[in-house]
Amino acid sequence: MINRLYRLLQENLDPHKVLRDADILEGYSRDETPDMAAAPDILVRAENADDVSMTLKLCSEHKIPVTPRGAGTGVTGGALPVMQGVVLSLEKCNRILEIDRNNMVAVVEPGAVTGDIQKAALEQGLMYPPDPASLETCSIGGNVAEGAGGPRAVKYGTTKDYILGLEFVLPDGSLIQTGGKIVKNATGYNLAGILIGSEGTLAVITKIYLKLIPAPKVTLDILLPFDSLDQAIDAVHAVLMNRVIPAALEFMEQDAISLVSKHIQNTIPCADAGAHLLIQIDGNTEDQVLADLQTIVEAARINPDRMFVAQSPSQKERLWKARRSIRESIQAECGFFAAEDCVVPRAGIPQFVKDLKAYFHYKALRSVMFGHAGDGNVHIDILKDAIAYDEWKNMLPGIKREIYSRALACGGTITGEHGIGCLRKEYLPLALSSDAIDLSRRIKAAFDPGMILNPGKIFP
């Protein structure tokens, strides 16, 4: 069956787009999910929507699974062909088709790198705000499929807030367009709404209309040290209630600060603090940004001598270095860790973090927590340390269940950015009722009645 499909794909697409050399397939057997691999039988590198349509049509006819793949930067195994079959790579569909300055819209193909879109927009004085950590390598199609976030979500929202239109292909090969260069639309169901964050299980996206906004002229980064995480989160409320919405509002708790201090080359400012807030403010004029800074200092009741304000590129770099070095520091410290990204109502962050710390302490585990204070999105990294690999693998499910239960108990959910993928699908029933999962399965069947698209993901 696979041989026959291979021949048909070669006949119907250019042969150079259809590959099954073992060494090439090997390169498509991993994404950035730790400790997980699965190679496809066939790789298709689509170069346009027709290639995508033909591939899906043939795979539907042969009932062969198709796993769409962007840049492979996901961390929950979304791009891995866990049921084998075809990996449909969109990496060659990577053109930025248009930056429409007057309408403030970018039209792009799904394989375009998010950072490249940002640069192209900025050349026209415009900004595409979502900024996942993998910005420089991840593709916009993957961002849409995963509903990617990033530090700037607190002010600017996530990927879903910038999708004006999509062109996508259903598993039967039909091509559908929804929306376009329009910012309002009440014409039929919001099909883009359900596709965003559907992790490649409903359709394959072939074109994206992105909303752009005017780029701010001035940005300022500051680091505020606090004695405790409680004080830091109180300051977050005070800042927001004083009507300053920072472009980024990141927190690091004490263990994150200590670990980074230990492994980073340069010293980090205020390394003795109980918690850090790393804040970026942006605006139209220097006066406005400085007024916002003044508001923040007063609202957060910060001693101005203690805070660190970065204006030059090298100062900014120093400030963000600590935040960006957390994962690298954990790698250096213990080589291996588990990463979760729960969400809780913002006001619940301190209690959630303290309770989890107590639980990890009881389990004799070290952990590092940090994340997006403005969104209630808490990154929880648990260090393997000297625990034997098998024991670690055995204990992880219980630990995950405990973390998720605590997030849900305080009104949150199990993942805010990374998605469900393969990694969390067995835990979905903790977060969603069986009625909600059944409804989701029926929606899946409405798009993909043959169940060929990215099987083994999301659903338990």
Contact (CB, 8 A) for 140 and 196: no
Question: Edge to edge, what strands does the sheet with 105-108 contain?
Answer: 96-100, 105-108, 204-211, 163-169, 175-179
By CB under 8 A, the residues from 397 to 426 that bind its own copies are 411-420
Q: Is 304 left (phi over 0), alpha (psi -120 to 50) or beta?
A: alpha
By CB under 8 A, the residues from 426 to 445 that bind its own copies are 428, 431-433, 435-437, 439-440, 442-443, 445
Minimum CB separation of residue 59 from its own copies in Å reads 18
Contact (CB, 8 A) for 349 and 233: yes
Burial call 141-155: b when 16+ CB within 10 Å, e when fewer: bbbbbbbbbbbbbbb
Q: CA-CA distance, 300 to 251, in Å (whole number)?
A: 14
Residue span binding its own copies (CB under 8 A) among the ranges 30-38, 49-57, 88-96, 180-188: 180-188
Give 177 or 331: the residue with its C-beta nearer to its own copies. Answer: 177
- Point out which residues pair with 404 in neighbouring strands: none
Residue span binding its own copies (CB under 8 A) among the ranges 222-230, 249-257, 313-321, 345-353: 345-353
- Point out which residues pair with 238 in neighbouring strands: none
By CB under 8 A, the residues from 118 to 177 that bind its own copies are 125, 146-147, 149, 153, 157-158, 160-161, 170, 174-177
* Per rule CB under 8 A, count of chain residues that contact its own copies: 94
Structure tokens at 434: 């069986």
Give 213 or 396: the residue with its C-beta nearer to its own copies. Answer: 213
Give 259 or 458: the residue with its C-beta nearer to its own copies. Answer: 458
Give 134 or 325: the residue with its C-beta nearer to its own copies. Answer: 134
Among 1, 22, 186, 364, binds its own copies (CB under 8 A): 186
Give 46 or 153: the residue with its C-beta nearer to its own copies. Answer: 153
Q: Which residues contact 186 (CB under 8 A, 6 or more apart)?
A: none
Give 19 or 66: the residue with its C-beta nearer to its own copies. Answer: 66
Q: CA-CA distance, 90 to 112, in Å (whole number)?
A: 9
Give 318 or 372: the residue with its C-beta nearer to its own copies. Answer: 372
Residue span binding its own copies (CB under 8 A) among the ranges 20-28, 33-41, 58-66, 194-202: 194-202
Structure tokens at 246: 């920072």
Q: CA-CA distance, 401 to 430, in Å (whole number)?
A: 8
Contact (CB, 8 A) for 200 and 237: no
DSSP per residue, 25-40:
HHHTS--S-TT-----
Give 179 or 225: the residue with its C-beta nearer to its own copies. Answer: 179
Could you tell me whether strands 66-69 and 86-89 are parallel, antiparallel, or unpaired per DSSP bridges?
parallel
By CB under 8 A, the residues from 222 to 251 that bind its own copies are 237, 240-245
Minimum CB separation of residue 452 from its own copies in Å reads 16
DSSP per residue, 177-225:
EEE-S-S---SS--HHHHHTTSTTSS-EEEEEEEE-EEPPSEEEEEEEE
Q: CA-CA distance, 145 to 140, in Å (whole number)?
A: 9
Minimum CB separation of residue 441 from its own copies in Å reads 9
Binding mask 23-52 for its own copies (x = CB under 8 A): ------------------------------
According to the binding rule CB under 8 A, does residue 343 interact with its own copies?
yes
By CB under 8 A, the residues from 7 to 26 that bind its own copies are none
Give 143 or 325: the residue with its C-beta nearer to its own copies. Answer: 143
Among 217, 301, 306, 361, binds its own copies (CB under 8 A): 217
Minimum CB separation of residue 177 from its own copies in Å reads 7
- Sign, CA dihedral 373-377-380-381, equals negative
By CB under 8 A, the residues from 69 to 128 that bind its own copies are 100-105, 125
By CB under 8 A, the residues from 275 to 334 that bind its own copies are 284-285, 287-288, 291-292, 295
Q: Which residues contact 7 (CB under 8 A, 6 or more apart)?
A: none
